[in-house]
Amino acid sequence: MKITKGNINPATMYQSLLSCWHKLEHYSPATLPRESGLQRVKNNTLPWQENPRPKKTNHTLVFTVYFGVFQSSHVTDFVKQCFKDDRRGENDRSTDICYASFKVNIEGYYVNESLGISTLPWALGQLEKKQIANNEWDKEFTKVLEKLLSDLQQELQEVQTIESLREIQDRIIELSEWSTRPAVEIFIKQEEVPLKKKKKKESEESKPDLLNSFYIKDLETIIRRFDEKKASKAFTDYLKGCLNLKFQKNDLAKDITLLKETLLPEKYPDGCWPSEYKLSLM
C-alpha cells in the first residue's frame, strides 16, 4: 500500500490497512499434511470398510478425510488473472491444498463437530463477485457453513461411503461459488488414538482438523469499533509503522531510560511482579 502525504486522512488509512489484513486472513490455504498414513482414495473401498483393528489395546482408529484436494497453482493463476498480473514470482511453487476435512470413527460414522471448511475458496468467490470491500465476511461465511450443515444433516448421520463422500465434496465445492473448478481428489489419513472414557451422551465430539485464522473475528470487531481518538497510542503507532508513516521512535540501544521506566514493579501486570520484589514486601 503506497501512501503519499495529504492524499488521504489517517483514519481512512488505518481502516484500509485493517481491512487489508482482514482479507489476507481469509486467503490462507489449507495445506494437505505430509504425513505417513495419508492415502489417495482410488477405488470404492474405504479403510473403515475393511474391518480395521488398532495395534494397541485401549486404542481406536480415527480417519481424517480431506475433500477437494487440488494444486495451489490454480489459486495463484486465478488471483493473477483478477489483478492482471502476468509476472512470475521466483518463489511460485504449487502444493496440495484442500477445500475441507472431517473425521470418521472406526465404524465409518462422522465424528461430531469435526467438519472444517477452508475460507480460501469462498474468499476467492467473493473476490470474483467484487465483494472485497465487505468487512463482515465472518458473518457471511458462518451463514454458508450453517446452511451446509443443515443440508448435510442426513448424510452425516449415516456410515460414510465413497458415494456419500463425493456428494459431500460436491456440496462443499458448490458453496464457495468460485467459478474455477480444478480437478479434485479425496485423501484419507489414518491415526491410532487412545480410547476416551464414554460420556453420558453417546455422541462423540471433536475439534476440526482444519482450522482457519483465529484473528478474523477480532479484526472485524476492531474495524467496527476503531476510533483513532480513543485507540491506544501503541496501537496507532503500530499502524503508522506498517504504513511507513513518521512517528516518534525510541532507540533503546542509545537511550535505555524508557526501558528502565517500563521495568519498574508498579508497571508490571498483576501476577507478573519479579520474585525479588514480592519477597521485599513480605
**116 vs 145: CA distance, rounded Å:** 9
**Rounded mean pLDDT of 220-236?**
78
The more confidently predicted of residues 223 and 128 is: 128
Which helix (H) or strand (E) segment holds residue 191: the answer is strand 185-194
Evaluate if residue 248 carries a pLDDT over 70.
no
Query: What pTM, to 2 d.p., does this model score?
Result: 0.75
Phi, psi dihedrals of residue 66, rounded to the nearest 5°: -105, 120
**Where is mean pLDDT largest: 22-36, 158-172, 197-211?**
158-172
CA distances from 192 to 110, 199, 221, 251, 282 (A): 16, 20, 40, 53, 52
Burial profile 153-174: b = 16 or more Cβ within 10 angstroms, e = fewer: eebbeeebeeebbeebbebbbe
Evaluate if residue 145 carries a pLDDT over 60.
yes
Angle between helices 162-176 and 119-128 (to 10 degrees): 40
Question: Which alpha helices (DSSP H) does 130-271 contain, by range?
Answer: 137-151, 162-176, 216-225, 233-242, 257-262
20-38 pLDDT per residue, tens? 888 888 998 999 988 777 8
pLDDT of residue 9: 67
Is the CB of residue 67 less than 8 Å from the CB of residue 169? Answer: yes
- 272 burial level (CB within 10 Å; 0-12, 13-18, 19+): exposed
Which helix (H) or strand (E) segment holds residue 20: the answer is helix 10-26
87-123 pLDDT per residue, tens? 776 666 789 999 999 999 999 999 999 999 999 999 9
Q: Give the three cell numbers for residue 73.
A: 497453482
Annotated domain spans of the chain: 29-212, 250-282
pLDDT classification of 179: cutoffs 50, 70, 90? very high
Q: What is the mean pLDDT of the chain?
A: 82
pLDDT of residue 281: 43
